[in-house]
Amino acid sequence: MAEGGLNHAIPDEWLQSGAYMAVLTESGGSSELVMEAATGKLFHKPTGHLVQLAGTGSVAEHGAAEEQQVAVDSEETVQNGEEMDRGKSTVVIDESTGQIVDIADMYPGVSVVNVSLGVCIVCKANGARFQVEHGGEGLTLTTLQTVLEMDDEA
């Protein structure tokens, strides 16, 4: 498995075989998350991104002090053709349009902290933090929305 996830959608055949299991929401509805049966790791089914609740130890190990950095201008990031290595971000990629979307207006109080090229911490408005490994291609809007729907006790 590639670092940061699978870099492709998780096929239905893997769910049918029992290698992965569907994850339900707190209300019993379906979600876009699946759990790998052998390891218990959570993945975003459409993208294959690895998703996990970031405990305080994980955040500290990955440089939570970087949260204090100023948000990087999204146009500058796109012009340079490079993904941010570390720092707080207010943008994600809308995979349906390929555009960069500012999340500050869509989700007040939510931030994304880039801790390395392929890892970020999604901080919900209530303080819950989720570590997302995305393989370096950037956090997508769909993955962000799925993480925001996750129960904080997952």
Contact at 8 Å (CB) between 4 and 135? yes
- How much is the pLDDT for 26? 67
Q: How far apart are CA 10 and CA 6, in angstroms?
A: 8
DSSP 148: H
Reported pTM: 0.46
The one-letter code for the residue type at 118 is G
Q: Has residue 4 been placed in a domain?
A: no
- Confirm whether 154 is domain-assigned: no
Q: What sections of 22-149 are H helices per DSSP?
A: 56-61, 74-80, 103-106, 141-149
Reading the chain (154 residues) residue by residue, the pLDDT tens digits are: 335 678 789 999 988 888 888 887 767 777 888 888 777 788 888 988 888 665 544 433 333 333 322 222 222 233 233 333 345 666 677 777 777 777 877 888 888 887 777 888 888 888 888 888 877 777 888 888 888 888 765 5
- Domain membership of residue 80 (yes or no) is yes
- Show Cβ contacts of residue 24 under 8 Å, excluding neighbours closer than 6 positions: 30, 31
In a domain, 6, yes or no: no
48 inside domain: yes
The predicted pLDDT at position 124 comes to: 87
pLDDT of residue 53: 64
Q: Are 136 and 118 in contact (CB under 8 A)?
A: yes
Q: Which pLDDT belongs to residue 152?
A: 62
**Residue at 82 is within a domain:** yes
Contact (Cβ atoms closer than 8 angstroms) between residue 124 and residue 152: yes
pLDDT of residue 55: 55
62 located within any domain: yes
The answer to the question of residue 31 being in a domain is yes
Distance CA 7, CA 118 (A): 11
Number of structural domains in the chain: 1
Structural domain that includes position 64: 12-149
